[in-house]
Structure 1
Amino acid sequence: MELIDAAFEAFKQIKIDAETHGHSILSEQDTRLKIVDRIVSDVLGYNLLQDVSTEPASGSGFIDYLIKIKETGRLVIEAKKEAVDFEIKALYSGRAYNLNGATFHARAVRDGLAQTIYYAAQESVELGCLTNGNTWIIFRANRLGDGKRPMDGRAFVFSDLQSIEANFKVFYELLSKQCVENLLYRAIFQEAEGQEVRVKDFAESLVKEDNLRLMTADFTSDFERVMNIFFSKLSGDDDPEFLSNCFVETKESQAAEYQLARISEELVSKVKAIETSQGEAIRKIIERIKNTNRQEFIILVGSKGAGKSTFVDRFFNYVLSSNLKDECIVVKVNLAGYSGSEQEITNWLDSTLLEATETVLYNGAPTNDEIQGIFFGEYNRYKRAHKVLYETERTKFKIEFAKHMEARRESRPTEYIQKLIGNIVRSRQKVPCIVFDNADHFSIDIQEKVFQYGRSIYENKLCLVIVPITDKTSWQLSKQGAIKSYENEVMFLPTPSPKRIIEKRIEYLDGKIEIEKRHKAQYFFKKGITIELRDIEGFVKLLQTIFLQDHRTSKWIGSFSNFDIRTSLEITRDIISSPHLSIGEFLKAYVVKSGSGDNEEDVIKPYRIKNALVKRRYNSYPVKHHPYVQNLYYCNGDVNTSPLLSIRVLQVLKDRKQDTGAADSFFSVSQLIGYFHAMTVEQTTIHKTLQFLLSHGLIRSYDPSIIDIDYSKKVEVTPSGLEHYYWAINDIDFAYIMLEVTPICDRDFFDDLNASYNTPNNKFRLTKLFLDYLEREDATYCKVPNHPSYDGQKVIHIRFDWLRQVLERKINGYQRNRVTRRT
């Protein structure tokens, strides 16, 4: 059942109850309890505990109902007892009337309206409602700076519950939580007050979603296999050499490696101290280590996809000296395999760490004798408790003890794990190194629980615990004091440049080709790659041409991925796999010319790379299905607003980022809303634009874990946002690609475009017309104040003017070439 239908059924029941028990509704409290409360919760959908405050102090009085949505005040309701007559006849119901007109002449109504307006002003709430439980008056009690006084507006009237039932759709759309949250009431009031309501009666694109289709690549799937093997994964479990050679070292990662090696060496010295001492001395050393917190806890901080897993694996396998490596026992808990909830994570960590520890130490499970050694104290206690059995049936005693320990393993896994870790130090004289990997695949709450679980191991046993976490989790934990409250070694692992990542992998491929030539090692054949070595060589040449000879491509990849390694590799693979690149032609030319590949015609043109990046494998830009490139000319769907609004937001944030006098690069959300309100952009429109940019990674919140603009206090532009901005105001190819899929709201202009869309060599003329259209639409919805604070907004038009000049030159140049060819 739809929400409005369920609400209507609930309202009808309230109406029946009110008519049946109306004689008992005498006071204002009766009205609120028996009618208003029920309508607010059961009909309008507000949670009385979370959304509604009753009698909060406001100015010199108390509000009957203050309703908030996501901590923002949205509605003030002033309730009177039913006996207060508003003197409004039923024939006026369901329509809007002037607040300063004759409809609201009653003294009780005038006083109630003034009271509602006062509270709305105190709380900066727009929507107001005055009711006696039976009659409902709904109006904009705060005009939020539109230049009109509240009493100069209009109010919708419902004279009684029967009139609400007859006009329920209007009542619901004015007051329900769902509609108030989306500010639907504004459109209703705009229409009622005679303001133009911007309704999209026409919006059509040249290329429809129904016309979107996958294109066929002009090269063998073996090349895609090359990309999947060498440009998809971050770990190299099936190829350790690949892992070692393709890891990109930065100054910070080298420093982290040195620091980690130093910590391991210090722990080994602690273990050695235990090994060379006896009896009481060992006990004192262990006690001292425990009391002085001499264990080590490493927090490895890096963005998601920065290579934290690779760093840890590479460290223990290749960086750590053989002497130190022999002194360490590494137990790894890979959270990538977890699929449960936040509540189940601790139990999962217990069972997984227990299983991983037993696998590393005992190749699956300890023997009876090994269990006896690990739990020797418990063995002696059990022996004393079952002395007769021990002395008479030694074999049965061992079996019973094994059962006892197995039950303990199941019921008290944490204690069991700590015994195993303690045994690594006590019996093997080695350093337990426990790694909790891939926690950053999960929510902040789960990452925090993993952090706390790691701390519980660290607090009880001498060990090295490594917890890689994202910068977002680090931010949260530091904000809550978790990192500051404990002794930790925090290491930061920065994201290397995409160009260097790609370069490393191309170098690795190139090196393997040379080995294959000399030694016939069949490295590629073993990977399932069956194409000729010459073709692979040509393919590597292609990769070098695209990604290394021209720095722009790797810059685009890095920016659009927000420098996330995984996403960078995905984009790299997408570009190569795209049919728009026509790499089959390149490879044929390379083979024919015996691998020269030096002619200008062999170079992949930038427009092909852009097409591959933006269109991927489709014949046009895949609207709503592109993970990292967005159409900035159409971000708000059905909201009729400037097609340049998202670019204008990015302009503000870019200016802030480049302002050397600013304290930081963040801009408060409330300031942004106010900034664009002065440009006649409605709050709901700018709010929706900010949500689009935030959810698609073009801007980020000050608290990086927040992706809902309602909870974000401040935002800044991201690398992806900047790249989108530059492409939107500078790039002809991007503008033309988006021209094809951007819904045009001007029917005549669309008809002109559509008529000449399929005309050959018409790209530049159509793009120029598209830019003109974007600025015309922008002028309709945005009025830029003549003030220094808005000077940055002029840059957009300056760049559009420059782009038009470039297009004009290209159009004229093409026409001259046509004339020359004809003559």
Structure 2
Amino acid sequence: MESTDGFASLEAIVASFENRDRNEAKTRFDLIDRLLTEVLGWERPWIDVEERIVGSNGYMDYKLGSKGALLVIEAKREGISFELPVGLTSGVHALKPLITGTLNKPLRKALEQVRDYCAQIGVAPAVVTNGHQWVAFLASRTDGTAPLDGRAYIFNGLKSIEEEYVRFWNLLGPVGVSAHQLAAILSAEESPRPRPLSSSIREYPGTKSRNTMQSNLQILGQIMLEDVPSNPTYRDAFLQECYANSGALSQYAELSRELLQKRGELLVNSSGVGALPIEGKAGLNSNLAADITAASFSRRPIILLGPVGVGKSTFIQHLIRIDARQVFEKALTFTVDFGREGILDDLGDHSVEQVERQLNDKYGIDIDSQKFVEDVYRAEMKRFDGGIYGRLKEIDQTQYAVKRIERLEDLSGSRSAHLKRSLERISKSHNKQIVIFLDNVDQRSREDQNRIFLVSNEMAAQWPATVFVSLRPETFYESERYGAVSGYHPRVFTLAPPRTDTMLKKRVDFAIRVLETGGNVGGIGEGSSFGLSSDELVLFLTVLSENFRKNKQLMSLIDNMAGGNMRRAMDFVTEFIGSGHVDTAKIIEYARHNREYTIPQHEFLRSLIHGDGVHYDPRNSPVPNLFQLDRPESRGHFLMMVALDFLADKGSVGQNAGYVDLKDAVSYLQGIGFPVSSIRYSLNYCSRFRLLESPTSDVDVFEGDKCRVTSVGAYSARRLPELFTYVDAMVVDTPILDSAVRRELKDEYGLLGRLDRAEIFKKYLDDSWDVAGIPSSVWDWRRISARLADDIDTVRLRSRLSNRG
């Protein structure tokens, strides 16, 4: 609703109500309802009335907001309604003079009542009204001013509302309330979050230096684990030895096995589309092999559905070269990669260009060669010869040739139409099926994914080809209802993540074999085309392989923080190899003397948190700062952990595959005093770090109607805050609200100094918890704090023993 839409309604309301009895309850509530819906634009589903306040006998007359309460209204309806001083003009007024004395008691009681309601659910904007007069104030503040010592914006009568209609709309309409317009007018300069310790570090975040061995190892590790598998020399051997079947449930996941099994079901099955797992215990789903042929006749694409990084590209290569090799040997296969390109102006043109190039490079077919074009359009050129220009062949050979060229140019001018005709001719002349994979689609935006799906439908419907397209489950869920998929009935196969430990061990063992054989793996090739030989890397990878096999604590960290994304898990490992935060020489020395080395969780976590930096930097780290807050309130340090705990607990019951209605989550968090703005900030922060996921948004979970905790979120909330390594890193990024504590915290590099700093930070969090007012029955920081204290003591003891040795 636009602001101008409500003015005509307001004029009618003013004419109807201006002279009625202000103390008549029904008239007053009819008036308020109409002003809210017809004038301010609050939709009926956003208005809750007579909602009981938990833990009291009170009721909120009106609670407004689409997802959680944004505005609370107290409507006086019994006894004597409050009165404002005669002649009081509309505008900003101090509240104290209006609520002091016996005559002003009704207004004071109303303000106190709504203030207490708002404090309980974390809402700042509030209104007390008798229908005609509106007193809008901030019932919850962070600027050090008591709510009733502050100011209010007063509309003293319907005529005043009419005269200041734009102001009325801006302050109390849904758009203005969401934009905190009332706070902008009434609040003093709100205290900002204090700047974190990082702001005082001269070269933050800094660059962690590596010695020559570490630098070389990291480069070699990236080549062996990332580049070698894509090299044609090793491709088949890699696919044969390193492929890990999808769907094997992790034994380390923080989420339950039952929930993991159901996580993909809701998005697909609720759409009414029959989705089949792409692999089972017996291997490749037999329906898929049959559909490769059938899809070209059904004229619809086959969707490969799986999360980002699950291994869809590897599956496609394994399908082509291993699982269904006999099928694809009789086909011409093309892969259109949407992940390696930058901004694409036309996704359809990109697909055409990729297929054209691969026809030429892989199969030696140039669809623009004279002979080929003549062959494709033989029927059209036969008609040309029988047409008006045909006689030129006898009269003027040169002109005849020019006209033929012009006609062929017209026929082949549309690249998409020409490629379609070319594929039809190739399929028939070679007696081979055409199969096109649109890969890495899930790495693009949702809008691009929708457009690419439409491209796949056009290809499947018009080209003589079986078309595969890879999508994310969330994109499919959204598009099936509201976007590109909604008008089609595609064939869908789901690809679940493989076991992370299995995938990593196979990759590392393969890299060891390549290095140890000089590249001659299984008799293929003539030695490593990379010219590598690294005894140190072999030793380091051997340690990794053993740890992937039996170090449960390490694998729990990697598995959960990767969250089913195999690409991220591999990035974690390549970052660890040669990290400046790791004692690489010590690990290699252990391996050189055949001594077992168990990689400590804290050692891997430190490389994960810091990356190439000296200090934690949330812009470059995959690890979130769960103590971050958006406003200077102590309880904010715990909001993310409380939210993740609630969502994990709520999502573990029922048949919703872990999803929780966002409205329920916001209502719960408001019920323990968190404002909507802080809830939104925290949930979006969690979404950015993949702690939460929503079916309809990657950025703002408030755009959707539900969300759920990922394994990254469950592990981060339950395990990380109790570790010294984590808290030690987060202290530089966390705004400290206590100025005395801020002065104590320094930039520390030595272990003992960092341990002392972590204890100061822990005590600060303990004190913040004591004044946060969050019931321990909801979530209890003290349990985490006790385990954190134990870990700090353990690290301190280990340091002392090491120094003695």
User: Which of residues 758, 774, 792 in structure 1 aligns to 2:765?
Assistant: 774
- Aligned partner of 2:719 in structure 1 is 727
Counterpart of 1:231 (choices 216, 225, 230) is 225
Residue deviations 1:625-669 (CA, integer Å, cap 9, x gap): 23410111224365654312211111112222444x575422222
2:435 matched residue in structure 1: 433
**Structure 1 pair 469–666 and aligned structure 2 pair: CA distance change class (3 A):** closer
2:481 corresponds in structure 1 to 479
Q: Do structure 1's residue 649 and structure 2's residue 676 form an aligned pair?
A: no
Note the alpha carbon deviations across 1:556-615, whole angstroms, 9 max, x for none: 22322222122222222222232111213433x25xxxx644336x55443322211112
2:304 is equivalent to residue 300 of structure 1: yes
Structure with the greater alpha carbon radius of gyration: 1
CA contact (8 A) 1:333 1:437 kept: yes
Q: How far does the alpha carbon of each residue in 1:380-437 deviate from its partner, in whole angstroms, 9 at most, with x for none?
A: 2211112202444567545532332223322x33332221122123222211112222
1:224-269 CA-to-partner distances (Å, cap 9, x unmatched) read 22222233459715544365246423156555745477337856xx
Write the distance in 1 (CA, Å) between the matches of 2:802 and 2:792. Answer: 15
1:696 is aligned to 689
Q: 2:777 aligns with which of 791, 794, 803?
A: 791
| DSSP-derived class of the 1:652 partner | helix
Q: Does the residue aligned with 2:474 lie in a helix, a strand or coil?
A: helix
Which residue among 413, 417, 423 is the counterpart of 2:415? 413
- Structure 1 position 126, deviation (Å): 5.2
Question: Given residue 611 of structure 1, which amino acid in structure 2 is its aligned partner?
Answer: R
Task: Work out the CA distance in 2 between the residues paired with 1:632 and 1:691.
Answer: 12
Match of 2:789, as an amino acid?
R
2:708 alignment partner, SS class: strand
Q: How does 1:410-809 map to 2 (within 5 A)?
A: 410=413, 412-480=414-482, 486-516=488-518, 526-527=529-530, 529=532, 532-587=533-588, 589=589, 596-599=592-595, 603-622=598-617, 624-636=618-630, 641-659=635-653, 663-701=656-694, 703-754=695-746, 761=752, 764=755, 766-784=757-775, 791-794=777-780, 796-805=781-790, 807=792
Which structure 2 residues correspond to residues 247-266 of structure 1 after superposition, within 5 A? 247-250=242-245, 254=279, 257=284, 259=286, 262-263=289-290, 266=293
Q: Distance in 2 between matches of 1:662 and 1:296?
A: 31
Do the aligned partners of residues 766 and 545 (structure 1) sit closer, same or farther apart at CA in structure 2, a change above 3 Å counting? farther
Q: Deviation at 1:216?
A: 1.2
- Once the two structures are superposed, what CA deviation does each residue of 1:517-538 show, in whole Å capped at 9, x if it has no partner? 9999997863153xx5423322
Counterpart position of 2:376: 374
CA contact (8 A) 2:246 2:496 kept: no
Aligned residue pair count = 690
Q: Kindly tell me: are residues 238 and 321 of structure 1, through their superposed partners in 2, closer, same or farther at Cα, counting changes over 3 Å?
A: closer
8 A Cα contact 1:56 1:66, kept in partner: no
TM-score (norm 2): 0.72
Report the RMSD for the aligned CA atoms in angstroms.
Answer: 5.0
Contact 1:646–1:689 (Cα < 8 Å) also in 2: yes
Q: 1:433–1:465: 8 Å Cα contact kept in structure 2?
A: yes
Work out whether residues 504 and 548 of structure 2, in 8 Å CA contact, stay in contact via their aligned partners in 1: yes
Distance in 1, matches of 2:689 and 2:567, equals 16
1:451 and 1:467 in contact (8 A); partners too: yes
The residue matched to 1:329 in structure 2 has which SS? strand
Kindly indicate whether the alpha-carbon contact (under 8 Å) linking 2:244 and 2:502 is maintained by their aligned counterparts in 1: no
Measure the CA separation in 2 of the matches of 1:136 and 1:358: 78
SS in 1 for 2:197: coil
> How far apart are the structure 2 equivalents of 1:446 and 1:491?
21
Q: Match for residue 80 of structure 2?
A: none
- How far off is 1:731 after superposition? 1.9
CA distance in 2, matches of 1:462, 1:573: 42
- Equivalence map 1:269-288=2 (5 Å): none
For 2:687 and 2:619, the matched residues in 1 are separated by 17
Amino acid at match of 1:569: M
Q: Distance in 2 between matches of 1:372 and 1:669?
A: 61
Q: Distance in 2 between matches of 1:262 and 1:321?
A: 11
Identity of aligned residues (%): 15
- 1:280 maps to which residue? none
Pairwise CA distance, 1:717: 0.9
Say if 1:697 and 1:658 are closer, same or farther in 2 by CA, change over 3 A.
same
CA–CA distance in structure 1, aligned partners of residues 794 and 328 of structure 2: 66
Q: Secondary structure at the match of 1:310?
A: helix
CA distance in 1, matches of 2:519, 2:238: 23
- Counterpart CA distance in 2 for 1:302 and 1:476 is 14
Where relative contact order (Cα < 8 A, 6+ residues apart) is larger, the structure is 2
Unaligned runs of 5+ in 1: 1-24, 33-54, 78-84, 114-119, 145-149, 160-169, 192-196, 268-288, 785-789
| TM-score after normalising by structure 1 | 0.71
Structure 2 Cα separation of the partners of residues 56 and 393 of structure 1 = 90
1:404 to 381, 395, 407: 407
Question: 2: distance between equivalents of 1:697 and 1:648?
Answer: 17
Q: Deviations over 1:113-165 (max 9, x none)?
A: 9xxxxxx9xxx9956699xxxx9977149999xxxxx9999522599xxxxxx
Secondary structure in structure 2 of the residue aligned to 1:516: coil
CA contact 1:57–1:63 (8 Å) conserved in 2: no
CA contact (8 A) 1:231 1:570 kept: no
Per the alignment, residue 218 of structure 1 pairs with 211
Matches within 5 A, 1:66-105: 66=41, 88=87, 94-97=92-95
In the alignment, the residues of structure 2 paired with residue 499 and residue 817 of structure 1 have an alpha-carbon distance, to the nearest angstrom, of 31
Shift of 1:801: 2.8
Distance in 1 separating the partners of 2:31 and 2:124 = 14
Distance verdict in 2 for CA 1:403–1:760, change over 3 Å: closer
Task: Please tell me the residue identity of whatever aligns with 1:583.
Answer: T
SS of structure 2 residue aligned to 1:331: strand
Give yes or no for contact 2:634–2:771 (8 Å, CA) kept in 1: no
CA displacement 1:66-125 (0-9 Å, x = unmatched): 279997797899xxxxxxx997567x964433696699x9xxx9xxx9xxxxxx9xxx99
Could you tell me whether the CA contact under 8 Å between 1:174 and 1:184 is conserved in 2?
yes
Q: Which residue of 1 aligns with 2:22?
A: none
**Which amino acid is 1:316 matched to?**
I
Distance in 2 separating the partners of 1:101 and 1:63? 31
Query: Cα deviations across residues 434-458 of structure 1 (Å, max 9, x unaligned)?
Result: 2222222222222222222222222
Q: Distance in 2 between matches of 1:297 and 1:435?
A: 10
Rounded Cα–Cα distance in structure 1 between residues aligned with 2:362 and 2:461: 22
| Residue identity in the other structure for 2:95 | Y
Pick which of 240-249 and 462-471 moved more. Answer: 240-249
